[in-house]
Amino acid sequence: MQVLSKRTLKAFWERYPHARRPLESWYAIAESASWGSPTEIKVAFGTNVDFVADNRVIFDIGGNKYRLIVRVSYRFQRILIKFIGTHSEYDDIDPETVGSPPPAPQERRRVR
């Protein structure tokens, strides 16, 4: 799988040095994988992974101290990082929408 982007992980572990080793381990596993379904991810990560809408996957990292949310494109073999944060930061976000662009504003029509 191609992980987009490792720079996001590096920036996080620079703020939280204890996250470096578990994130590097996750990255090594993900980069060498060729997952075709959520079941294959579940086999690799067991109880440390959950799934939500839009092919998003939530990984418990570092003994559940950190959360990583990615969007997986099984067809194109790509993983896009949507969120990395502490467990408490994770509690403040919506895993189904975090990292997505805001919806386009509705065009307002003038009523005459």
Task: Identify whether the C-beta of residue 41 lies closer than 8 Å to the C-beta of residue 1.
Answer: no
Q: Tell me the C-alpha to C-alpha distance, in Å, between residue 42 and each of 71, 80, 88, 91.
A: 15, 18, 24, 22
Of the ranges 9-13, 51-55, 89-93, 97-101, which one carries the lowest mean pLDDT score? 97-101
Residues 6 or more apart whose Cβ sits within 8 Å of residue 40: 33
Position 99 scores a pLDDT of: 82
Residue 5 has pLDDT above 90, yes or no: no
Find the mean pLDDT for residues 4-33.
95
- Kindly report the average pLDDT of the chain as a whole number: 91
Residues of the chain with pLDDT > 70, as a percent, come to 89
- pLDDT tens digit sequence for 33-48: 999 999 999 999 999 9
What does pTM read for this prediction? 0.87
